[in-house]
């Protein structure tokens, strides 16, 4: 086979062919993985709703709203025997030490917190990363069973009733902000 001449035209032709082939491969991988990724995200969301909401047998159509901080939020009504028994609310706060924190909260019809599930956080390992357990029943400062409309669910340093995660007050404030954002959407 004859050797190609080393010139600008052949260089650009080679780069074009390589780019086209790599682009086609990446596009193919995207098409193959798009559906499984969407299914995994839906399964994660469904598991989060089951973990936080009051006992239910069906989930209504999600309502998308914008919170006070400009982030989109999803409200999922949960029903038992065709009657609404509560809501699952997915919110994002920008106030975390490491950036955004995304949490799913469950509320009963009296707006009492029935559970929460931290979906995403970028907090400091060993400190703010304790958020998934710290505020659960049996944790250091549980919020489950409390009503944000009645209880002052801010950290004690700010005059509230929530004990901050040790050495992670900013992360704790972010969690309390997420509660306030979720409650603000359903009250």
Tens of pLDDT, residue by residue over 73-116, are 999 999 999 999 999 999 999 999 988 999 999 999 999 999 99
Tens of pLDDT, residue by residue over 128-161, are 889 999 999 999 999 999 999 999 999 999 999 9
Same domain? For 21 and 111 the reply is no
Q: In this structure, what DSSP letter does residue 61 have?
A: -
Range of the domain at 178: 53-186
Same domain? For 150 and 114 the reply is yes
pTM above 0.75, yes or no: yes
Tens of pLDDT, residue by residue over 6-22, are 788 888 998 999 999 99
Same domain? For 85 and 174 the reply is yes
CA nearest neighbour of 65 among 151, 187, 153, 149: 187
């Amino acid at each position: 086979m004859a050797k190609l001449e080393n010139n600008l035209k052949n260089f650009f032709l080679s780069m074009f062919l390589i780019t086209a082939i790599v682009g086609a491969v990446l596009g193919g991988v995207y098409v193959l993985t798009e559906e499984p990724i969407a299914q995994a995200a839906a399964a994660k969301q469904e598991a989060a709703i089951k973990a936080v909401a009051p006992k239910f047998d069906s989930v209504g159509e999600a309502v998308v709203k914008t919170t006070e901080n400009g982030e989109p939020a999803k409200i999922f009504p949960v029903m038992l025997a065709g009657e609404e028994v509560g809501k699952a609310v997915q919110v994002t706060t920008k106030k975390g030490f490491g950036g955004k924190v995304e949490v799913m909260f469950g509320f009963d019809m009296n707006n009492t917190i029935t559970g929460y599930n931290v979906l995403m956080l970028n907090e400091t390992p060993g400190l703010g990363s304790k958020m998934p357990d710290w505020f659960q029943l049996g944790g250091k400062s549980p919020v489950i069973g409390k009503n944000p409309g009645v209880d002052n669910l801010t950290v004690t340093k700010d005059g509230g009733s929530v004990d901050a995660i040790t050495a992670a007050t900013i992360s704790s404030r972010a969690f309390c902000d997420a509660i306030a954002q979720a409650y603000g959407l359903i009250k």
